[in-house]
Homo-oligomer: A and B are copies of this chain.
Amino acid sequence: MTIKAFVFDAYGTLYDIQSVATVTEEAFPGYGDIITQIWRMKQLEYTWQRSMMQRYADFSVVTRESLVYSLKLLGLTYSDDAFERIMDKYVHLDLYPDAKAALAALSGYKLAILSNGSSGMLNDLVKNTGLDQVLDATISIDSERIFKPAPQAYTLIEKKLGMKPSDVMFVSSNPFDVAGAKSFGLNVAWIERVTPQAMAAEFKPGAPVAPVTMFKAVRTQMDELGFLPDHRIRALAELPKVVGK
């Protein structure tokens, strides 16, 4: 087995989805954390629910719907302008600090993104952050009209990149995505950004928790679905190591 390509998840893996907290907090002081966490939790839930209901709508729609849900939940009123300013952050998300150097260290491999994002959102995001200069392809699940972790989503790597699953190292920080990619048959490196020790230390008996802690509790720890990653690393910078470089 020789790895010829690295294919990355976008939201949460190359891009820090928590970076929306700056704009949510600015728009609604004191509510930045809760909006950020509920928004992301519902955004992914909606991708799963719409897929299962056979009611696909693209990720830009799902992202808007989940933001509406989050603001209603808190009883917040807002102008269209304020709403659009928050949404706009989704095409200007912060890259993780080590993302560009990590991609540069993998030159010689095919490099691509495979994301739930719509083609429009992804192309804007990649361009706005300069990754269009280093990626060979930015693949949206749009054309399959079903979200990850459905196997149809992962078939797009071979369809668009011409690479067999065995030749590809798929990289994600999202446990559901790791399970889906493994179940499909890809080689998978998991970016474990929150260790079990750090996670457990955030809980004190009987104490309330920060919304971000609940988000981490639900979405950052390896799932018990019977599909484990081949590689478990702490940061994108460790990727050359998983292919023996």
Chain A positions within 8 Å of B, measured between CB atoms, are: 29-31, 33-34, 37-38, 41-42, 45-46, 48-55, 65-66, 68-69, 72-75, 146-151, 176, 179-180, 183, 196-197, 199-200, 203-211, 214, 217-218, 221, 223-227
Q: Which residues of B contact A214 (CB under 8 A)?
A: 37, 209, 211, 214
Q: Which residues of B contact A38 (CB under 8 A)?
A: 217-218
Q: Which residues of B contact A75 (CB under 8 A)?
A: 196-197, 199-200
Q: Contact: A225 with B150, CB < 8 Å?
A: no
Complex CA gap A199/B49 in Å reads 23
Complex CA gap A194/B112 in Å reads 44
**Which listed residue (B31, B150, B204) contacts A52, Cβ 8 A?**
B150
Q: Which residues of B contact A68 (CB under 8 A)?
A: 224
Q: Contact: A183 with B48, CB < 8 Å?
A: no
- Kindly report which residue of chain B lies nearest to residue A69, judged by CB atoms: B224
- Kindly report which residue of chain B lies nearest to residue A55, judged by CB atoms: B183
Complex CA gap A107/B214 in Å reads 43
Q: Give me the 6 closest cross-chain CB pairs, A-B, nearest first.
A: A30-B205, A75-B200, A208-B208, A48-B48, A65-B224, A214-B214
* Closest-CB distance, A183 to chain B (whole angstroms): 5
Q: Contact: B69 with A223, CB < 8 Å?
A: yes
Complex CA gap A29/B204 in Å reads 11
